[in-house]
Structure 1
Amino acid sequence: MLPDSRLDQLLARHAEIEHALSGSPDAEAYVRLSREFAELSPLIERVKALRAAERERDGARALMEDAAGDPEMAALARAEADELDGRIEELTREVRLALLPRDAMDERGVILEVRAGTGGDEAALFAGDLFRMYERFAALNGWSVEVLSMNEGAAGGFKEIAAALHGKGAYAKLKFESGVHRVQRVPDTEASGRIHTSAATVAVLPEVEEVDIAIDEGDLRIDVFRASGAGGQHVNKTESAVRITHLPTGTVVAVQDERSQHKNKARAMAMLRARIYEAEREKRDSARAADRKLQVGSGDRSERIRTYNFPQGRVTDHRIGLTLHKLPEVLAGDALGELVEALVTEHQAALLAEAEGLDRGAA
């Protein structure tokens, strides 16, 4: 059962905000109240629908008792009550989901980092495949992609690449992608047709704003140097590349893709904020996560989470035991959403199970 007092409080708060908005709040208060009203409204609609269904069900049950001498009427009332019980169960689950604690970063964009692991050139090619998969998935979701830094592989693909995916809700959809992705396929250079296994590591970090984390300028060592690699003669003539070291944690980021030192520094700071924020959050949540086991996987980047098997045309997510025989569609970004939705659903189910256990314990 859902706690009625909690639902009553939410209904009262929604009505209070509605009344305040109908008055003449100042601009700042209007924005704050409007945001809270918009966040509450979908939940309130479900709560009102749940309460209405419960009233109708109670009415149907009362009619069953009143029609005890009329079997036909009693049967109709019983059928209606049974149908409403199913509707109430569905609405109760929807309200429970809406009441679950939300990750404060879910609505943010992400910093996506893909690095080739074991497998040499083949791993770099696979890292390129993965990055393009996320790039296409971003396009399908209406997010923009900004490459922050890259180091190309000798035979193609990337030794490593980092990009910002700007779009509302990107972190909510991609946060379970962190970990080791493994590929099994026959490389183009393999004459005997032997299957090789390679790997790439994916890290998904929420985009972090300056207000989210305080970084003392005195804790930073900033080095500028001449960029190397592709880009023509210009990159070797100016010291536009930037390396930032966060001394307390030893975190290092380097960006050299833009000709502007200022732009490279801004990109490097965005990556640094994301990495430090995530490290602090992992440290803060590690004990709780170990106790509750609520994450889909540990989020550990060393954990093998998924295998892409080319000979069999399948993709298997090892955390939830899901296999899709749609490897081309997954790598094209089209079917990645099926994996994402399954991971989110599994996580929500674990949260619901814990919430229901707490409710039973409190009863």
Structure 2
Amino acid sequence: MLAAPWVCRSCARSLGRVGISQFSQFIRRASTGTATELPAALLERARKLTAEHEQLSAALETDFDVKRAKRAGELSRIATALKQLEKAKASLSELQGLLTSDDAELRELAQDDLEATNVELADSSHNLSVALTPKHPFADMPCLLEIRPGPGGTEGRFFADSLFHMYQAYCANKGYRTRVVKYDTMDNDGQTGSEGEVPLQEAVLEVEDPGAYAKFRGEAGMHRVQRVPVTEKSGRTHTSAVAVWVLPSFPESGNTDAESEWDNPESDFYINPAEIRCETMRARGAGGQHVNKTESAIRLTHIPTGTTVSMQDSRSQQRNRDYAWRLMRSRLAQQRREAREEKARQLRSSVLANSQITRGDKIRTYNYQQDRCTDHRSALDVHNLPDVLRGGDTLGRVMESVQTWLVNKDIELLIADEEAADASVAKKKGKGGN
């Protein structure tokens, strides 16, 4: 139930759009007489950053500096969102005053405008929360979709091939540029899955467009399939799983961003060459005399972590080496990012930590008998499973719902961090007072 005895229908719809379940911990729903408010910690952070934006803007008027200009640009949306929120609050306060007016016509006009103002206030609160959420450091980068079969035997390998082609088709439908970095299948007797799939062992699809990581990062996790395998004689439904990793891809053209500099020891993408063991070997599988007689395949091992990358798709050993290094950098960068996030989670409450989605969780289910695709994070059920697997608009709806879920989780974690920081400061002051 809502905390207040009444909330306008339009306002409730607006709150629903941004996800009431995720905001229940920190947005106070209000009646016509109470404003929707963000936590004091977030508002204080917004005011500090807006003040910094004003100082930078004033300095830039007399002395332009690229670094200051970049920082001012990053803070501009926070300043704009805070201004919109304060404007909505002022409008609501004015309307509340008019509701107590002796003039019946003014009261009626105020009542008419109240619903729209409540909607504006809820939207501006959400927009400010989003603006305050730190941008993911890999958000603007291309990405690698790495697909491997999980539990389920051959059926899991067949569905891994389905997912690979699903993402490939989705990118084609959206006009995203892709490149198949790796596509390894198992040797078998020519048997195919119920949808004509081949048994996939491992595949890596690169989405080359900038910002692809932000679009696809919600796809990482275990994807579960429930269907009757082509080899099943008694018609029983089998459950299999496929693991999808979404890794940042370092662009071949180079990038001056310190987060992405190969030779910068402070970068997540940096690798000490002395920590890499490189082995050459003959490629395996189909391919004729060249594959069997030429040592073109490359295997890299990162000794400190044991991370291994094998590449044999190209006939050129140098090309395979380049691809292997890029994939190794991407995997290690993701591991380092996740290690930092895990340390941050440990500082938050156990409730928030337990709500995190990890690779081991089943994030999505594809049920063939029910013609259903369910994302377990956004709680969205869609039907028309063939359209999902064709990478159509139905898959787009699912991915968009996950994007909304991710934004709300980022906001929730931001608030947890701010409140933890405030609690730490208060604790230190308390000890100082004693």
Alignment TM-score, normalising by the size of structure 2: 0.72
| Superposed displacement of residue 312, structure 1 | 1.2
Residues 354 and 198 of structure 1: is their aligned pair in 2 closer, same or farther, counting only changes over 3 Å?
Answer: closer
Q: State the partner residue of 1:117.
A: 150
| Superposed displacement of residue 148, structure 1 | 1.9
Listed as ranges, the gaps of 5+ residues in structure 1 are none
Q: State the partner residue of 2:315.
A: 259
| Superposed displacement of residue 188, structure 1 | 3.0
Residues 196 and 85 of structure 1: is their aligned pair in 2 closer, same or farther, counting only changes over 3 Å?
Answer: closer
Q: State the partner residue of 2:397.
A: 338
Deviation track 1:228-287 (CA, whole Å, cap 9, x = no partner) reads 223333333432211111111111111111122222111111111122222233333324
| Secondary structure of 1:242's aligned partner | strand
Give the aligned residue type for 2:223.
Answer: H
**Residue in structure 1 matching 2:86, options 39, 42, 51:** 51
Residues 20-169 of structure 1 correspond to what in structure 2 (within 5 A)?
A: 25=64, 29-30=65-66, 32=67, 35-64=70-99, 68-81=101-114, 83-153=116-186, 154=188, 155=191, 156-169=198-211
Residues 241-260 of structure 1 correspond to what in structure 2 (within 5 A)?
A: 241-260=297-316
| Secondary structure of 1:124's aligned partner | helix
Residues 287 and 256 of structure 1: is their aligned pair in 2 closer, same or farther, counting only changes over 3 Å?
Answer: same
Deviates more, 1:42-51 or 1:156-165: 42-51
Q: State the partner residue of 1:215.
A: 271
Give the aligned residue type for 1:77.
Answer: A
Q: How many residues align?
A: 357
The alignment yields a C-alpha RMSD, in angstroms, of 3.1
C-alpha separation in 1, matches of 2:327 and 2:111: 60
CA contact (8 A) 2:147 2:160 kept: yes
| Secondary structure of 1:118's aligned partner | coil
Q: State the partner residue of 1:349.
A: 408
Give the aligned residue type for 2:280.
Answer: V
CA contact (8 A) 2:46 2:78 kept: no
C-alpha separation in 1, matches of 2:205 and 2:364: 21
- Asked if 1:195 is matched to 2:237, the reply is yes
CA contact (8 A) 1:176 1:296 kept: no
C-alpha separation in 2, matches of 1:60 and 1:149: 61
Deviation track 1:137-193 (CA, whole Å, cap 9, x = no partner) reads 233444322222221133414111122222233222322322222222223344443
Deviation track 1:277-326 (CA, whole Å, cap 9, x = no partner) reads 22233333324435445579645333333221111111223344432223
Percent same amino acid at aligned positions?
A: 36
CA contact (8 A) 1:142 1:167 kept: no
| Superposed displacement of residue 342, structure 1 | 2.3
Alignment TM-score, normalising by the size of structure 1: 0.84
| Superposed displacement of residue 220, structure 1 | 1.1
**Residue in structure 2 matching 1:175, options 200, 217, 224:** 217
CA contact (8 A) 1:296 1:347 kept: no
Residues 131 and 41 of structure 1: is their aligned pair in 2 closer, same or farther, counting only changes over 3 Å?
Answer: same
Residues 96 and 349 of structure 1: is their aligned pair in 2 closer, same or farther, counting only changes over 3 Å?
Answer: same
C-alpha separation in 1, matches of 2:224 and 2:115: 48
Deviation track 1:183-213 (CA, whole Å, cap 9, x = no partner) reads 2222334444333332222122222542423
Listed as ranges, the gaps of 5+ residues in structure 2 are 1-36, 192-197, 251-259, 424-434
